[in-house]
């Protein structure tokens, strides 16, 4: 009898517990929430921290209580295809600028022609007009006004949510000087290892091509910039253009840019040669530009010249520039570019590696082979060693045109070191090890050190006898909403996008993912760079702030979230 009572008591308790648990689940755990999918890249296209970044974003959005985020990932080859097909509703992307002008952070994102390639499909006729005005005006006041309009519109419409600007990092043996984390182009030719003619370096990067017409990834461009000079080059520390192969930076004031901003003239230094001794004159510059445009390599940056730079590419002219787009003076030293429309930042495009002159005998129909003796430029260094995917050796170019180019910046002669050996490694840990072993295997390691290895190196800097430097980078990260008519209802709803903009926690990203190394970003235009008029407006800070759950939930409440559930089924694997 007693046993029966005991069993009844236990069963009763179990039933009560089950009822309470069910009630809890019904009221709390299964509470209707907005269901959104956040996509991120899974194969390291943006480094090894992407899953952590996505998780922190998910947590910060979900912490506000009314949105549930499901994470999805794919390898880059698939990810970008899904993006281009408009099949990613809400996802993470990154951007490294092609040229040092604010326009490169605005027009590709917000212009109707550029936004599909970012997967946002944002389109607004007024915005297109503003972009046209800022691109073609040489009046700083007009450009500032348009960039302000554009950034305000960005915050109003929220096709993107800026998250943070990245950082670049380097570590080097104490005593080495001249390691400058330049925002556009790292310069090995200004690094100095006292009492040594040889500098050993390590990187996790690798090249795709050393042909300026094809090079369009960070490390290829970095090496091209050591081996090839452009008409204009960047100062050693700041991202400000200065004369390179040309004698003067063209401006309207000095008469080398026409008043309508459509004609740019560059005067070459006399007596220029390539490292092989062949002549470098205005005809060679024209031939090089035409070659890059004619080859129009899929992975290259020729579009910056013929499309962005308004030089054209005409099938009737053998896929070269438009007839008459480039004229060469009789002295073969002056070259003029005639643009089909004004481009306020044309000098920046001419300073980009794709515009670097190459010798007359370079292959005109295909890529020049990446081999010693084949790669020949006019820069401070020559390529004298290339052991496939293991090592590059750069040696002093004895015919470099102006060794005193940076004398006014305290660098009497470039290149500083006779030889730079760059060893290619496969992981951030390998870079760390290069500085941790005794004797050190590298004097300088540059790109890419993971946040964990960076923190490790920083904590051991004194013991290891190294200097660790972290600087802001022009690289930005942001979230993209696909706002096309075919996108999901929730994402197309401005209020949902605004609620998410309120929810994201940039401080948590900085703290939890990057150990405090990144800079929270409140506009697509990053602050703090010496680009020509960066025009940074922190519109997302003033309009949304960080992790403002009250405001986020206020908006979502107006949508009556408790009455229904948005469920977006777009994933390939569903």
Partner 1 sequence: MARGRSLLAYAATRGLLAIPMLLILLTAVFFILRVLPGDPVLALWGGREPPPEIVEAARHELGLDKPPWLQYLDYMSRVFRGDLGRSIGEFYRGKPVWGEISSRLPATVELSVGSMLVASSVGIVTGVVSGARRDTRLDVVLRLYGTVIWVIPIFWLGVLFQIVFAIWLGWLPPHGRWQGTDFPHPVTGMYTIDSLLERNPAHFWTALRHLVLPCLTLGLVLSGFFTKTVRANMLRTITADYAEAAHARGVPGRKIVTRHAFRNALVPVVTVLGLQFAILFAGAVITEKTFSIDGIGLLLLESVVSKDMTMIQGIVVVYATIIVGVSLVIDILGAVVDPRIRL
Binding site for partner 1 (CB under 8 A): 43-44, 74-78, 80-81, 84, 93, 116-117, 206, 208, 216-217, 296, 298-299, 366-367, 385, 387-391, 393, 421, 423-427, 429-430, 433-434, 436-438, 441, 572
Alpha helices in 384-515 (DSSP H): 428-436, 451-459, 461-464, 489-492, 494-503, 506-508
Shortest gap between Cβ of 485 and partner 1 (angstroms)?
Answer: 18
Q: Which residues does 113 contact at the CB level (< 8 Å), separation at least 6?
A: none
Shortest gap between Cβ of 440 and partner 1 (angstroms)?
Answer: 11
Strand, coil or helix: 157: helix
Q: Return the number of the residue (6 or 198) whose C-beta is nearest partner 1.
A: 198
Shortest gap between Cβ of 296 and partner 1 (angstroms)?
Answer: 7
Shortest gap between Cβ of 303 and partner 1 (angstroms)?
Answer: 8
Q: Which residues does 104 contact at the CB level (< 8 Å), separation at least 6?
A: 97, 98, 345
Strand, coil or helix: 168: strand
Please choose, from the candidates 8, 87, 410, 378, the residue with its C-alpha nearest in 3D space to the C-alpha of residue 237.
410
Burial of 109 (0-12, 13-18, 19+ CB in 10 A): buried
Please choose, from the candidates 384, 385, 415, the residue with its C-alpha nearest in 3D space to the C-alpha of residue 401.
415
Shortest gap between Cβ of 74 and partner 1 (angstroms)?
Answer: 8
Shortest gap between Cβ of 425 and partner 1 (angstroms)?
Answer: 5
Shortest gap between Cβ of 111 and partner 1 (angstroms)?
Answer: 13
Q: Return the number of the residue (441 or 494) whose C-beta is nearest partner 1.
A: 441
Q: Return the number of the residue (131 or 155) whose C-beta is nearest partner 1.
A: 131
Q: Return the number of the residue (241 or 468) whose C-beta is nearest partner 1.
A: 468
C-alpha distances (whole Å) from 478 to each of 47, 161, 256, 481 are: 15, 5, 38, 10
Q: Return the number of the residue (81 or 557) whose C-beta is nearest partner 1.
A: 81
Q: Return the number of the residue (229 or 456) whose C-beta is nearest partner 1.
A: 456
Q: Return the number of the residue (405 or 442) whose C-beta is nearest partner 1.
A: 442
Shortest gap between Cβ of 447 and partner 1 (angstroms)?
Answer: 15
Distance between CA 73 and CA 54 in Å, rounded? 10
Please choose, from the candidates 164, 113, 162, the residue with its C-alpha nearest in 3D space to the C-alpha of residue 135.
113
Strand, coil or helix: 89: coil
Q: What is the DSSP string of 314-364?
A: BGGGTTBSPTTSEEE-TTSSEEEEE-SS--TTHHHHHTSGGG----TTS-S
Shortest gap between Cβ of 421 and partner 1 (angstroms)?
Answer: 6
Q: Return the number of the residue (407 or 437) whose C-beta is nearest partner 1.
A: 437
Q: Return the number of the residue (455 or 551) whose C-beta is nearest partner 1.
A: 455
Residue 266 pairs in a beta bridge with 335
Shortest gap between Cβ of 208 and partner 1 (angstroms)?
Answer: 6
Label the pairing between strands 90-95 and 466-481.
antiparallel
Q: Return the number of the residue (255 or 299) whose C-beta is nearest partner 1.
A: 299
Q: What is the DSSP string of 284-323?
A: HHHHHHHHHHHH--TTS-THIIIIIT----BGGGTTBSPT
Q: By the 8 A CB rule, do 109 and 117 touch?
A: no
């Amino acid at each position: 009898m007693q046993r029966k009572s005991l069993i009844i008591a236990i069963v009763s308790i179990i039933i009560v517990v089950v009822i309470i648990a069910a009630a809890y689940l019904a009221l709390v755990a299964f509470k209707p929430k907005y269901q959104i999918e956040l996509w991120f890249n899974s194969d390291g296209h943006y480094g090894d921290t992407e899953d952590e970044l996505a998780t922190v974003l998910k947590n910060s959005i979900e912490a506000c209580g009314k949105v549930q985020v499901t994470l999805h990932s794919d390898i880059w080859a698939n990810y970008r295809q899904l993006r281009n097909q408009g099949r990613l509703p809400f996802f993470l992307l990154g951007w490294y600028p092609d040229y040092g002008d604010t326009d490169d952070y605005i027009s590709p994102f917000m212009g109707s022609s550029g936004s599909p390639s970012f997967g946002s499909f944002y389109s607004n006729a007024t915005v297109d007009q503003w972009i046209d005005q800022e691109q073609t005006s040489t009046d700083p006041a007009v450009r500032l006004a348009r960039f302000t309009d554009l950034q305000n519109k960005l915050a109003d419409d929220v096709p993107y949510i800026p998250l943070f600007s990245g950082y670049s990092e380097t570590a080097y043996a104490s005593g080495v000087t001249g390691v400058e984390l330049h925002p556009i182009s790292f310069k090995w030719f200004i690094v100095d290892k006292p009492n040594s003619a040889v500098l050993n370096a390590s990187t996790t990067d690798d090249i795709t091509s050393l042909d300026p017409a094809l090079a369009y990834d960070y490390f290829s461009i970095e090496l091209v910039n050591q081996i090839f000079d452009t008409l204009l080059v960047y100062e050693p520390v700041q991202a400000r253009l200065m004369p390179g192969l040309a004698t003067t930076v063209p401006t309207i004031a000095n008469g080398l840019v026409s008043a309508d901003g459509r004609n740019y003239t560059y005067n070459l230094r006399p007596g220029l040669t390539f490292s092989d001794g062949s002549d470098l004159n205005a005809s060679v510059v024209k031939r090089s530009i035409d070659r890059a445009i004619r080859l129009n390599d899929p992975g290259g940056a020729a579009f910056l010249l013929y499309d962005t730079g308004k030089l054209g590419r005409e099938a009737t002219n053998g896929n070269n520039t438009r007839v008459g787009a480039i004229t060469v003076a009789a002295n073969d030293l002056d070259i003029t570019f005639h643009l089909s429309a004004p481009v306020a930042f044309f000098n920046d495009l001419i300073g980009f590696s794709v515009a670097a002159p190459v010798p007359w005998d370079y292959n005109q129909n295909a890529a020049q082979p990446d081999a010693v003796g084949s790669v020949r430029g006019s820069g401070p260094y020559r390529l004298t060693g290339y052991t496939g995917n293991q090592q590059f050796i750069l040696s002093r170019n004895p015919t470099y045109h102006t060794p005193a180019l940076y004398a006014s910046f305290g660098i009497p002669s470039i290149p500083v070191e006779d030889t730079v050996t760059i060893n290619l490694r496969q992981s951030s840990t390998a870079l760390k090890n290069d500085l941790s072993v005794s004797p050190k295997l590298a004097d300088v390691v540059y790109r890419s050190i993971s946040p964990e290895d960076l923190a490790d190196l920083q904590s051991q800097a004194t013991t290891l006898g190294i200097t660790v430097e972290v600087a802001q980078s022009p690289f930005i990260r942001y979230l993209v909403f696909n706002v096309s008519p075919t996108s999901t209802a929730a994402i197309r709803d401005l209020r949902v996008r605004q609620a998410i903009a309120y929810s994201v926690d940039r401080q948590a990203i900085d703290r939890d993912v990057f150990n405090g190394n990144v800079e929270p970003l409140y506009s697509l235009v990053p602050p703090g760079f010496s680009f020509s008029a960066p025009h940074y407006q922190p519109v997302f800070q003033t309009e949304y702030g960080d992790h403002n759950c009250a405001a986020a939930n206020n908006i979502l409440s107006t949508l009556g979230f408790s009455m229904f559930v948005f469920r977006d089924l777009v994933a390939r694997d569903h």
